[in-house]
Chains A and B, each alone.
Chain A
Amino acid sequence: MRALSNPRNPLAALFVTVCLLAPVLLSTGYATPLAFLVLGLINLRILGGVRYPDYFKTLSVLSLASVGLFVLNVLAPAEGVNGPARGAAVFLRSVSLISLSMGFIFAVDPYDLVRALMVQLGLAPRVGFALFAGWNTIPLLRRDLGIIEKAQALRYGTRRRRFRDRTHTATALLAGAVRHGERVALSMAARGADKPGPRTFLKDSPWTRGDTLYCAAGFLAAALTTALILSLGLYTFDLG
């Protein structure tokens, strides 16, 4: 799911994504989520590096939750509420929020984001690199989980395995994760991760004028779209 590459600073991409998410979060109408869904796709195009088949595949799977919300509103509407209408609004809102959030995840490499947080916002390198190491651990844990499940299933053989017995899979996985964490921490310490004084970065995460312009454009696009929807009387916010 790692992004191929994109020229924008990950923090700029985060800022614009938040600008696009905020109006959708504050709206329960049809126009706002639709408009920002389109803006989100344009933003993805600008950011580049997104594998669209994977993106739409994941979006369609996660959107099943939105379908569920729609059905729930149709089948069991609140009193005095037009169920299908509310269901459609909720569906659009949740699809839009999922699409915008996923767009950021697909467009920005998590390593680049953490690196930008360290370089631009002063996140402690110890914390930043611990996040790197944590991200690296995910595939190792996935592999270990498969091995533990099978080794323990074979260990039980034909004996009945109660639910409580299955918790030992989690114990073994957790024990492995803790040990891995200890070793990584030792490796980081041995390589001077806690050394006081200034630190340099081989791969910098510079904030360019292009990033500033991109942020300004993103903010303006979000603000103008919201203003347009408001002026047309299409903005709705209804908690009822």
Chain B
Amino acid sequence: MPDLIRLRSAGFRHRGARAPVLKDIDLTVREGDRILIRGPSGSGKSTLLQVMAGLAPEYVPGTLDGIVEHLYASMGVVLQNPEAQVITPTVEEEIAFSLENDGVDARLIRRRTAEVLDRLGIGRLAARHPLTLSGGECQRVSLAAALAREPDILFLDEPTAYLDEASAAAFFRALEDLPARTAVVVVEHKIEAAAAVCARAWEVTPEGGLVPSDFRTPPPPAGSRTGKGSLPSETEPPALEVRGLSHGFEGFPPVFRRVDLDVRPGRVAALTGPSGCGKTTVLARIARILPAGPGSIRLAGRDALALKPRDFHASLLYIPQNPEHMFVAETVRGELGLSGPEALESADRYGLRNRLDSNPYRLSEGEKRRLNLCVALAERRPLYLLDEPTYGLDEAARESLVRDLGALADSGAGVLLVSHDEGFVGAVADTVFRMKDGRILREEVPRAGALKSA
């Protein structure tokens, strides 16, 4: 099998960084190879992929050392965030984009686009705007766009990070039909899903090196939430009580109808369901991001709609999917200081002591989430709403999050989180509300859960 990529003593240092993120990397990718790249958050997996795809240092500023040989004729790339890959106004043009750049004749583009749409079962979406699709559909469009080029090698950078388990499995199933000669390099935290496609794995170490990894051995269970704290009195009103909540967007069928759910103080409830089922919309209705509609929302027994803004703001804390959306200060110290001395004192416990004078936007993804949790714990609100808290987190960070949310619940607060990370939900939640086809099913979870690999 001919080589497609050769890295010899390769290293990469981001512009402005003191230390290289990658060093002394030796790797050969051959035709037909299926390789998984894994490693902790921020270890440089995506950077390695960008080096292999020829995007760094040209489009990712930094210094490249060693020998990097790109021997492939064509490549396809699928990135993590489906929304960030959308350029054109229709799915058909999105898939055609790379072929147009290659100067392929329009008739051939049309034929190849139709073929790949058909192969991935998304022909019905051809005329839709990609931003109107669900995350799973949008990511399949990105894969279709990469495959239309008939690439020698396919680079996938956490392509299922924003997808629920069923969509992630469907995404990897679509790769099973690839021609045998097509090499695939995947960066992925969802090891089990990627294992269906990959034959071998490499791990990027925290020091920036690359070592072979045995990804078929499941990791030991860890990070279970064991403490329950004091159970709330049954007469105490729920921290959150939602009855008959319905929502729809103009010109579209209802997203969900007559949803009921409740979160008791000291309990963690999870809202799960396939991508696009309306989980985040439920949170947005509770947090008043969306205007009021049919249904009632009660916070600690009080009608949320009747609450004055000041009282409403004191009743809950909303931690959005993007941790940066909560930042209100120029330094980590400023962020914590706003929530009082208790938050500053907890910086040690959350590994933020050395980052107190850093700009919060310059923290790693895991650090940003830990900062928000520090703030949340110090705020002492009766209810916490968290939207997809495990995005961008590796296994160690997810385990730590399970413990932290346990601590939040043990402090007597109710927690409602939206997540499609079933392993995480199983480990942290007391109650799971499953959304499907606009309805909701309640499930109580015995508290013996341990964090499973995503």
Q: Does A146 contact B (CB under 8 A)?
A: yes
Residue of B nearest to A181 (CB): B84
Q: In the complex, what distance in Å separates the CA atom of A157 from the CA atom of B317?
A: 8
Q: In the complex, what distance in Å separates the CA atom of A181 from the CA atom of B341?
A: 37
Q: In the complex, what distance in Å separates the CA atom of A228 from the CA atom of B290?
A: 55
Contact A146 B289, beta carbon cutoff 8 Å: yes
Contact A111 B289, beta carbon cutoff 8 Å: no
Contact A165 B60, beta carbon cutoff 8 Å: no
* A136 vs chain B, min Cβ distance (A): 6
Contact B105 A200, beta carbon cutoff 8 Å: yes
Q: Does B242 contact A (CB under 8 A)?
A: no
Residue picked from B99, B101, B110, most chain A C-beta under 10 Å: B101
Q: Does A52 contact B (CB under 8 A)?
A: no
Q: Does B167 contact A (CB under 8 A)?
A: no
Q: Does A231 contact B (CB under 8 A)?
A: no
Q: Which of A119-157 contact B (CB under 8 A)?
A: 125, 129, 132-133, 136, 139-140, 144, 146-148, 150-157
Contact A152 B361, beta carbon cutoff 8 Å: no
The verdict on A202 contacting B324 (CB below 8 Å), with A140-B131, A158-B310, A191-B77 known, is no
Q: Does A209 contact B (CB under 8 A)?
A: no
Over the window 276-317 of chain B, the binary record of Cβ atoms lying under 8 Å from chain A Cβ atoms (1 yes, 0 no) is 000000001001111000000000000000000110011011
Q: In the complex, what distance in Å separates the CA atom of A152 from the CA atom of B105?
A: 50
Contact B92 A189, beta carbon cutoff 8 Å: no
Question: Which residues of the other chain, A, contact B55 by a CB distance below 8 angstroms?
Answer: 186, 189-190
Question: Which residues of the other chain, B, contact A198 by a CB distance below 8 angstroms?
Answer: 103
Q: Which secondary structure dominates where chain A touches chain B?
A: helix
Q: In the complex, what distance in Å separates the CA atom of A188 from the CA atom of B86?
A: 9
Contact B318 A168, beta carbon cutoff 8 Å: no
* A157 vs chain B, min Cβ distance (A): 5
Contact A172 B327, beta carbon cutoff 8 Å: yes
Assign chain B's interface to a size class: 35 or more
Contact B104 A200, beta carbon cutoff 8 Å: yes
Assign chain A's interface to a size class: 35 or more
Question: Which residues of the other chain, A, contact B325 by a CB distance below 8 angstroms?
Answer: 144, 147-148, 151-152, 172, 176
Contact A204 B106, beta carbon cutoff 8 Å: yes
Contact A189 B84, beta carbon cutoff 8 Å: no
The verdict on A168 contacting B96 (CB below 8 Å), with A151-B320, A191-B145 known, is no
Q: Does A184 contact B (CB under 8 A)?
A: yes
Contact A147 B289, beta carbon cutoff 8 Å: yes
Residue of A nearest to B148 (CB): A191
Contact A129 B324, beta carbon cutoff 8 Å: no
Question: Which residues of the other chain, B, contact A192 by a CB distance below 8 angstroms?
Answer: 98, 101-102
Q: Which of B43-60 contact A (CB under 8 A)?
A: 50, 53, 55, 58-60
Contact A199 B89, beta carbon cutoff 8 Å: no
From A136, A151, A154, A158, contact of B131 by CB (8 A): A136
Q: Does B260 contact A (CB under 8 A)?
A: no
Contact B328 A187, beta carbon cutoff 8 Å: no
The verdict on A188 contacting B87 (CB below 8 Å), with A175-B361, A199-B100, A204-B106 known, is yes
The verdict on A154 contacting B77 (CB below 8 Å), with A139-B131, A202-B109 known, is no
Question: Which residues of the other chain, A, contact B77 by a CB distance below 8 angstroms?
Answer: 187, 190-191
Contact B103 A200, beta carbon cutoff 8 Å: yes
Q: Does B93 contact A (CB under 8 A)?
A: yes
Closest 10 interchain pairs by CB? A183-B84, A192-B101, A190-B77, A191-B98, A202-B96, A187-B85, A168-B328, A189-B59, A111-B89, A148-B325
In the complex, besides A147-B325, A158-B310, 20 extra interface pairs with C-beta distance below 8 angstroms are: A132-B88, A146-B284, A150-B288, A153-B309, A153-B313, A154-B318, A157-B381, A172-B324, A184-B85, A186-B60, A187-B84, A187-B85, A187-B87, A189-B58, A191-B145, A192-B101, A199-B103, A200-B99, A201-B100, A202-B106
> 30 interchain pairs (CB within 8 A)?
A129-B97, A132-B89, A133-B86, A146-B284, A148-B320, A150-B287, A151-B318, A151-B320, A151-B326, A152-B326, A155-B328, A155-B338, A157-B381, A158-B313, A159-B338, A175-B361, A183-B84, A184-B84, A186-B59, A186-B60, A187-B84, A189-B55, A190-B155, A191-B101, A199-B103, A200-B100, A200-B105, A202-B92, A203-B93, A204-B106
